[in-house]
Structure 1
Amino acid sequence: MAGKDYLNDVQECEKKPLWQRIGWLLVIWTASVGSLAIFAWLIRLFMTAAGMKSH
């Protein structure tokens, strides 16, 4: 059953130290915020190149 495999995965993850789980959370969050910032910067760059300025 797939339910038992999932339960085993959850129990295996809970064996890892709290600092390691929080560390991965911070790494993933930082990467997502960074990629969003780069994407927004690129959109602004293309809009400025096309002549659309905010001022």
Structure 2
Amino acid sequence: MAGKHSLQEIEEAEKKPLWQRLGWLAMIWGGSVLALFLVASLMRMFMNAAGLTTH
């Protein structure tokens, strides 16, 4: 069954250092913020090209 994790895999993941688990969290958060920035910048660029301005 795909997506199911055994108890052993979960216990091994919990043994990893806190800094490593928080590092992954920070990387995922930073990546999502960067992706949002890129999408917003592209939308703004396209809107400016179409003649829409914010002022």
Once the two structures are aligned, what percentage of the paired residues are identical?
A: 52
Distance 1:4 1:39, change over 3 A: closer
Structure 1 residues 12-53: Cα deviation after superposition (integer angstroms, max 9, x where no partner):
110100000000100010000001001000000000000011
* 1:20 matched to 2:20: yes
Tell me, which stretches of 5 or more residues in structure 2 are unaligned?
none
Query: How many residues are paired up?
Result: 54
Judging by fraction of residues, say which structure has more helix.
Answer: 1
1:9 CA drift (Å): 2.3
Corresponding residue of 1:50: 50
TM-score (norm 2): 0.85
Amino acid at match of 1:10: I
* 1:10 matched to 2:5: no
Tell me the distance in 1 between the aligned counterparts of 2:4 and 2:42: 43
Tell me, which stretches of 5 or more residues in structure 1 are unaligned?
none
CA RMSD in angstroms comes to 2.0
Tell me the distance in 1 between the aligned counterparts of 2:12 and 2:4: 14
Corresponding residue of 2:40: 40
